[in-house]
Chains A and B, each alone.
Chain A
Amino acid sequence: MDEIQKHLLMEIADLHGIPEGAYNIRSNSKSIGRASSANIEIVSKTDKDGIDIYIKPATKNEAVHIPVIMDKAGIKEMVYNDFHVGAGADVVIVAGCGIHCGSDTGEQHDGIHTFFVEKGARVKYIEKHYGEGDGSGERIMNPTTVVHLAEGAYMEMETTQIKGIDSTKRITQADLADDATFVVHEKIMTHGRQQAETGFEVELNGAGSSTNVISRSVARNSSHQLFLAKIRGNNRCHGHSECDAIIMDDAKISAIPEITANHLEANLIHEAAIGKIAGDQLVKLMTLGLTEKEAETQIVNGFLK
């Protein structure tokens, strides 16, 4: 790995080198390092590009890292990764994609991650997207996440896209069985002329299932963001989605919620708030000696922390 690749890895996975435990590092469309552990097995797919990750039932306190880094101009790839999380397991999965673009030819990574989370298993899924480089080529990422939660399963998904991705269209779909829980924390910041679209579709099929989808975003300059959240309550369930956005400069943000109750005991809430940075917040920080710009930075960083 060269310095650029090491840096990308650092940004998306907080990794200083080769991770512990099971991992697969994909660089410019090839796996450049892989390890399985006693409980977690990673195998390449034979019918298409991607990997299968098998996590044995009752595997506890283990992590899987599957970072993707790209720094070669012109790459355009579509990757399928499937996660099979055995019953009663409790694991952390760290994914993420870093693109360095040093030329005027763009790079694009599209990925479909599918999770089969078995009965009572718990997954924390962390995904970071990051772009850099002074090339004018577009850095494009279109991640799709499909989640199937079996009875009593729990998944928490943390996605972050703070810098450097010119265009993104992310889709997250989930279906939940009885007593399953799906929690999402999404953070997005867009600059320049970037476009970000994020759509959630959650089917609350099981009795006692619940979801909480929380998106915090900041749109600056003349960037555009679109937030779509569809939650369908098909049983006795709780659903909550929240879009909280700060708009700056000439940016545009739309939040389109859709909540559908197909059951009398479905309890669904959507909250959306879009606005500029509150004037009194700026004033308070300025009374502490910060300049207006510094105050703005602190407020935005805190909001997306």
Chain B
Amino acid sequence: MLELKRVCFGVRNEKGSKEILKDVDLTLEDRQFIVITGPNGGGKSTLAKLIMGIERPVSGQILFNGEDITDWDITRRAQAGISFAFQQPVRFKGITVKDLIRLASGDKALSTNGACRYLSAVGLCAADYVNREVDASLSGGELKRIEIATIIARQTTKLAVFDEPEAGIDLWSFHKLTHVFEKMHEEQRTILIISHQERILNIADEIVLIADGRIQKRGTRDAILPELLEVTGSCNFFKEDEA
């Protein structure tokens, strides 16, 4: 359903150019549940943004259900069924939680009850939140849950990408949230979650390990977990220092 072919991405800054993703090949089958993990700065969020169209590859190709979407803009990809929950959700002055969920659902007449259903799914007591603004007054964890609710509200989603959905959410609540992902999966959706959480790694069909802008390994949990410790345990900076 999703195919990345030799995707490269880099940025140019005053110090020259920097390669962030190198020759990434990644295939997701229909209804797969894949988790991407790996050390900070490895390129995971960048990969998710490339899939959503927020960033464009320097070279390579992205296919969605067989169609080349490399040049599609964000809106077109969203309308084709790709959803993306941000690692750092955006705040809006004046837009209420209900407004945002309504926009996500694509149902202009979405009732307050309808919006509440999605909020309850992420463990928010809906009545306290529907009319609040998605602004700086929300806590980090609340904002993160609302972000996840916007993805649940998108009924047309075929591929849902979540970037570290666990970040900022207390462990107890997160346990419940994992059911949200499982439910979406049962509803025949393809799920891609970027996560460092063991609980999420445990429910995935497969785990993809990204480090230094490359896919280092892909496989089942048992095959990847030992590898993970190796990669995250190393640090070039300190190594150079010691030398």
Contact = CB atoms under 8 A, between A and B. Distances in A.
Interface residues of B, number: 24
Interface string A269-294: 00000000010110111111111100
Nearest to A286: B74
Interface in A247-305: 278, 280-281, 283-292, 298-299, 301-305
A289 B90 contact: no
Contacts of A299: 92, 95
Contacts of B83: 287
Contacts, number: 56
B28 interface: no
Nearest to A289: B78
Q: How many A residues are at the interface, by size bracket? A: 20 to 34
A291 B74 CA distance: 9
Contacts of A286: 73-75, 78
Nearest to A278: B90
A244 interface: yes
Contacts of B89: 284
Interface string B46-88: 0000001010000000000000000001110011000110100
A305 B99 CA distance: 12
A58 B4 CA distance: 72
A244 B75 contact: no
Given A288-B150, A288-B154, A289-B106, A304 B94 contact: yes
Interface string A96-132: 0000000000000000000000000000000000000
Contact of A291 (B52, B75, B94, B103): B75
Interface of A: 216, 244, 278, 280-281, 283-292, 298-299, 301-305
Interface of B: 52, 54, 73-75, 78-79, 83-84, 86, 89-90, 92-96, 99, 103-104, 106, 150, 154, 156
Given A289-B79, A291-B75, 5 more contacts: A216-B93, A286-B74, A289-B156, A304-B94, A305-B94
